[in-house]
Amino acid sequence: MMRKLGIIGGSGFGKLPGFDLQSTHGSVTPYGAPSGEIKIGKLFGREIVFLPRHGENHTIAPHKINYRANIWALKEMDVTDVIALAAVGGISDQCQSGQLVLPDQLIDYTWGRESTYYDGTGGKVEHIDFSEPYSESLRTILIESARQGGVSLIDGGVYGVTQGPRLETPAEINRMEKDGADIVGMTGMPEAALAREASLNYVCLALVVNAAAGRSPVEITMDLILKNLELASGSALELIRNMRELS
């Protein structure tokens, strides 16, 4: 089967710079509407399917995102592989602002989100294996691309996913660090689990945009986050530009 790449845009990626839009698709899934229209077009000459997670104008808070509809809509467009872009705070020392991280594990601290397609409706309950929450084959492709393109990318790390929308307290970050979390963000779950339930190859490409609470010498403001996001997004796009064809 031909593999087709989907990109989920996180904060700062309501639009993809350089994206050559070819068509848009309004979609209503059995779980409701996704965050916006699904956009098909070319990025660096490669056909991709794009969906901004927070809506095109960043109006949907992390806990209000219809993750089930988003993943369903991508699947309906025949997407097989997903790169989920995510702005995160850095907890461990190597995760400095501007750095890209490709986590290989996660811890889910979210609550109350619709987090499965297997909720018993239709008489089906299923327990997916989640020992490797991210696709190793797609992670390997991105790691190769980073190496070839000279893009700095941390291979591996634990993504701690919080409920938000507020940022954390320093005590919460200390606890997360003890738990083993390297980065903290608000949207990694249930997105990753739903992608697995839908049999998509899914990775999170995390962009560190601030030092996490208690580690930041300055107040963590949206301005700071957006400024650092601009820095890191150049590297993220460079990485995607260098990606070989999926096969």
Q: Which residue lies nearer to ligand HPA by CB, 167 or 194? A: 167
Site membership for ligand HPA, residue 151 (CB under 6 A): no
Q: How far apart are CA 239 and CA 113, in angstroms?
A: 31
Q: At what angle do helices 136-149 and 222-241 cross, to 10 degrees?
A: 90
The only residue of 192, 212, 236, 237 in contact with ligand HPA, by rule CB under 6 A: 212
Q: Which residue lies nearer to ligand HPA by CB, 168 or 182? A: 168
Site membership for ligand HPA, residue 162 (CB under 6 A): yes
Closest CA to 101 of 33, 42, 20, 157: 157
Site membership for ligand HPA, residue 8 (CB under 6 A): no
The tokens for 70 are: 């988003």
Site membership for ligand HPA, residue 9 (CB under 6 A): no
Q: How far apart are CA 1 and CA 199, in angstroms?
A: 13
Taking the complex as a whole, the smallest distance from the CB of residue 38 to ligand HPA amounts, in Å, to 24
The only residue of 37, 108, 168, 177 in contact with ligand HPA, by rule CB under 6 A: 168
152: alpha, beta or left, given left = phi > 0 and alpha = psi -120 to 50?
beta
Site membership for ligand HPA, residue 207 (CB under 6 A): no
Site membership for ligand HPA, residue 89 (CB under 6 A): yes
CA–CA–CA angle 22, 230, 14 (5° rounding): 35
Site membership for ligand HPA, residue 205 (CB under 6 A): no
Q: Which residue lies nearer to ligand HPA by CB, 142 or 167? A: 167
The only residue of 85, 87, 194, 200 in contact with ligand HPA, by rule CB under 6 A: 87
The only residue of 141, 167, 204, 232 in contact with ligand HPA, by rule CB under 6 A: 167
Closest CA to 153 of 38, 236, 59, 79: 236
CA distance readout (Å), 188 to 32, 108, 110, 159, 213? 20, 8, 9, 8, 19
Which listed range, 16-24, 102-110, 113-121, 179-187, lies at the site for ligand HPA (CB under 6 A)? 179-187
Q: How far apart are CA 193 and CA 178, in angstroms?
A: 24
Q: Which residue lies nearer to ligand HPA by CB, 79 or 209? A: 209
Whether 20 contacts 41, CB under 8 Å: yes
Site membership for ligand HPA, residue 209 (CB under 6 A): yes
Taking residues 219 to 238 in sequence order and writing x for each that binds ligand HPA by CB under 6 A, - otherwise, the string is: -x----x-------------
Whether 202 contacts 104, CB under 8 Å: no
Site membership for ligand HPA, residue 10 (CB under 6 A): no
Name the residues that contact ligand HPA, by CB under 6 A. 87-89, 162, 167-168, 184-186, 209-210, 212, 220, 225
